[in-house]
Chains A and B, each alone.
Chain A
């Protein structure tokens, strides 16, 4: 089966600019997650979708971050405006059910300068 697809792989932007990331989960996986991983730390959940509904976005900085999952398949994560501390790898993952282990995509490495 095809894995979780993410794009772009790398992105460099200046602070206060906006950026968007895209994720296509494994076919049939109802649950989709966006995680932020800062260098040297473990992944931190930003948002969890079940189909196209939000299950948990309690750690999403909603003043600058937004995410959507249209039609319960693809998802986009947007940052506007970006700050220096947003420099991190943004990981998308999917699972059949939350109880299952995830499959992660290859991630998007964001550098804010």
Chain B
């Protein structure tokens, strides 16, 4: 059984702080890694993808991947109340559908 584990939270951070979201996965041959944001009552929205070890930055978001430790993280800098949502980690292997974690609920307080 391929597992994707996330702390369900809620993770509460003050406005302007850095939010750090973590994810571990069990399938060592996983090749693609994604972070989705899901607002309450809405469908998931892709915000970041990463395929190689290291960091990938896009605006206020940084994804980090460590395949040796089977660990993916998402950093959100200068967190805003509009970032309050559930963040889903998804892991994929060549040709096959993504396996999602349960998500981490993030609350950014003004």
Contacts and interface: CB of A to CB of B under 8 A. Distances in A.
Interface residues of A, number: 22
B109 interface: no
Interface string B75-100: 00000000000001000101111111
Interface residues of B, number: 23
Contact of A40 (B4, B45, B49, B102): B102
Contact of B97 (A89, A98, A103, A107): A98
B25 interface: no
B43 A102 contact: no
A44 to B, nearest CB: 7
Contacts of A33: 97
Given A56-B96, A99-B32, A41 B102 contact: yes
A99 to B, nearest CB: 5
Contacts of A70: none
Contacts of A98: 92, 94-97
Most chain B beta-carbon neighbours within 10 Å: one of A33, A40, A91, A105: A40
A104 B32 CA distance: 17
Contact of A106 (B43, B92, B99, B103): B43
B59 to A, nearest CB: 16
Interface of B: 4, 6, 31-32, 34, 42-46, 49, 88, 92, 94-103
Interface of A: 33, 35, 40-45, 48, 55-56, 89, 91, 98-99, 101-107
